[in-house]
Amino acid sequence: MLAVLRNRVFARLFCAQVVALAGTGLLTIALGLLAYDLAGRHAGAILGTALTIKMVAYVGLAPVITALVARLPRKPVLIAADLVRAAMALCLPFITETWQIYVVIFLLQSASATFTPAFQSLIPLILKDPRDYTYALSLSRLAYDMEALVSPAAAALLLTVMSYHELFIGTVAGFLISATLVAFTAVPRPGAPGEPQPSLWHRTTLGTRIFWRNRKLRSLLALNLAVAAPTALVLVNTVVYVRDVLHRPGSDLAVALACFGAGSMAVALAVPRVLDRFGDRAVMLTGAALIPPALGAAAAVMFMASQGVGWWPLLGLWFVLGAATSAVITPSSRLLREAATEGTLPYVFTAQFSLSHACYLLSYPVAGWIGAAAGLGWAAAALTILAILGSAGAFLSWPRKTFSGPGPAVTEEQAIEQPAEQSVQRRH
């Protein structure tokens, strides 16, 4: 797996991703503690609203921004996005009102909506070999798990010697280092500069049209909903459950989130071998099948918290949920790569980015608002229902005997004119 790091371009971009996500991990912990300071037991509602605003930026802005910057050199786009994120993170230690959180989060995540799809669509251009690309996906998943594992552990140590406000400085440093690494990387340029430019509306909706015409990508939409449910429960309600229900210290919030990351990391390490043996469908649908029962068990634990059932079952369930979500997320970009040409890659990755976060736009308010109004157990129960719907939809729309891919990768013109399900059958 580590052999792909011999590619210097990928290695530098991967390092940029790692440091930026490490900073984001510190942001997650510090933001949860800031919300708790401002609202106490209602912190879940603040986090749910803040994350909903984040999703609005992702869903509404990502396709438009990708269309606007489609023909621009990607290096300055990535650097500018990192600098904006650093500036917004620098504002967070000075926040004293709830509304200020919402404004800063919107601007910061708008920059992330620019950076992430552009970054993800670069990787298949750099690593042409399918096996190398699969290894890169696993490494990328591990980088995301750094946010949920290493960063919380570092936060737990740092919180013993400093206030959570100072953790935001680590976020700023992460984005600045990421921008520096990108600046010294030879980033591939998109397309041929002399090609005619389609309309803005055509470019904005292109990725969604490709999704709609590909059966496996339609199944991926349902899988996105299954993944959004446990992610919302973990990110929104862990701080309330740990601090307000179990009355544990702030450092234990980092421990709980680290268990979620550890489960995800364990699966990401095994994914290349497992995919070779079982294929995308078996791995991704197995992960989707595990999510609803684990969420149901989490709901039961939260309902029984008053009876002394809480901390250790929570850690175990967070590990299982992390593993299940990683089994779905890690291979997903392989489906995207199959469905696109080099010219449509940015649009397909942006569509996945936007459509997947549309599911979070539903799950985050459920986790935050139901948790604040009716209790964490009821929030977990509602999210279990969402996960069941997503998992069932994925199984129904991705039957065992199906085409392995979209056939000839879909160009911008073909996204409108022809279906994207013409391919040689293979085992999945």
227, 250, 42: which is closest to 152 by C-alpha? 250
Percent with pLDDT over 70 in the chain = 85
Cα–Cα distance, 418 to 252 (Å, whole number): 53
| Sequence-distant (≥ 6) Cβ neighbours of residue 386 within 8 angstroms | 225, 226, 228, 229, 362, 363, 366
- CATH code: domain of residue 233: 1.20.1250.20
Cα–Cα distance, 289 to 223 (Å, whole number): 10
Q: How many CB atoms lie within 10 A of CB 196?
A: 4
Q: What is the pLDDT of residues 279-315, one digit of tens each?
A: 889 999 999 999 999 999 999 999 887 666 678 899 9
Are the C-beta atoms of 145 and 260 separated by less than 8 Å? no
Q: Is residue 427 part of a domain?
A: no
How many domains would you assign to the chain?
Answer: 1
Range of the domain at 379: 2-189+198-417
Cα–Cα distance, 371 to 373 (Å, whole number): 6
Q: Is residue 16 part of a domain?
A: yes
Calculate the average pLDDT of the chain.
80
Q: How many CB atoms lie within 10 A of CB 165?
A: 15
Cα–Cα distance, 58 to 55 (Å, whole number): 5
Q: What is the pLDDT of residues 344-389, one digit of tens each?
A: 777 788 788 888 888 988 898 899 889 888 889 999 999 999 999 9
| Sequence-distant (≥ 6) Cβ neighbours of residue 83 within 8 angstroms | 175, 176, 179
Cα–Cα distance, 249 to 33 (Å, whole number): 11
Hey, what amino acid is at 127?
Answer: L
Q: Is residue 425 part of a domain?
A: no
Q: Is residue 423 part of a domain?
A: no
Are the C-beta atoms of 115 and 85 separated by less than 8 Å? yes
Q: Is residue 213 part of a domain?
A: yes
For 165-168, the CB contacts below 8 A with 24+ separation are 165/30, 165/34, 165/93, 166/93, 167/26, 167/27, 167/29, 167/30, 168/26, 168/27, 168/30, 168/89, 168/90, 168/92, 168/93
Q: Is residue 422 part of a domain?
A: no
Q: Is residue 424 part of a domain?
A: no
pLDDT above 60 for 423: no
At residue 411 the predicted structure's pLDDT band, cuts being 50, 70 and 90, is very low
Q: Is residue 57 part of a domain?
A: yes
pLDDT above 60 for 89: yes
